[in-house]
Amino acid sequence: MEQVKFNKRLMAYLLDILFVAVVFYLVSSIRFINPYYDKYIEVFNDYTETLDKYSKQEITSEEMLDMNQDNFYYLARYSISYNISTIVIIIGYYVLFQKFNNGQTLGKKIMKIKVVSKDNTNPSLLSYLLRSSFIYYLYVGSLIPLVLNSILSFTISSHYYLYISALISYLFFVISMASLVMCMLKGNTIHDYLSKTKVVYEK
């Protein structure tokens, strides 16, 4: 089976981001899903006020980071319900739906491409899970950063959270960019290699 060109994969990727964004917006707008909603809004307002002061040059970047250190921490903690919802959506769409829909998300269906294993069979659930753990970082974060940041917000102090969270985000941003370059040059991405899958044209 002929592997898919970069532009086809990119278009399917963008379409999937759009579909997931719509679902996530609808779910996140349900207030009772997040019992910390009021606290989240309170911290978020404080966070935006600090950014506004920085934009008006009333405080330095160091002061802004220092003032927002606790805000970053509590925004992560109070968004735990949204993170869980995002994880469920990602697994439901990119793992279960794709597994039982002939290796296709809606984006791939529109672009007439699909995911198959190296021997051209339908990949296992584990393979789809591995793919979704490292892909789609540019939208809401891939599974691993979401899970790690959610755990960290309840297990370490705010002093360390900002630095560790930033390190995780930077690491997965680098992985995403490397994967993008690999796809452009070789047609395969990091998650293709890890999950032993490939994207081919639908027959």
Per-residue pLDDT tens digits of the chain, which is 203 residues long: 666 888 888 899 889 888 888 888 787 777 777 788 888 889 999 999 999 998 988 888 888 888 888 888 888 888 888 888 888 888 899 999 999 999 999 999 999 999 999 998 999 999 998 888 766 555 455 677 778 878 888 888 887 888 888 888 788 778 777 877 877 777 778 788 888 999 999 87
Q: Which residues contact 134 (CB under 8 A, 6 or more apart)?
A: 142, 144, 172, 175, 179, 190, 191, 194
pLDDT of the residue at 20? 85
DSSP-assigned states of every residue in 94-152? IIIIHHTTTT--HHHHHHTEEEEETTSSPPPHHHHHHHHHHS-TTTT--HHHHHHHHHH
5-21 b/e (C-beta count within 10 Å ≥ 16 → b) = eeebbeebbebbeeebe
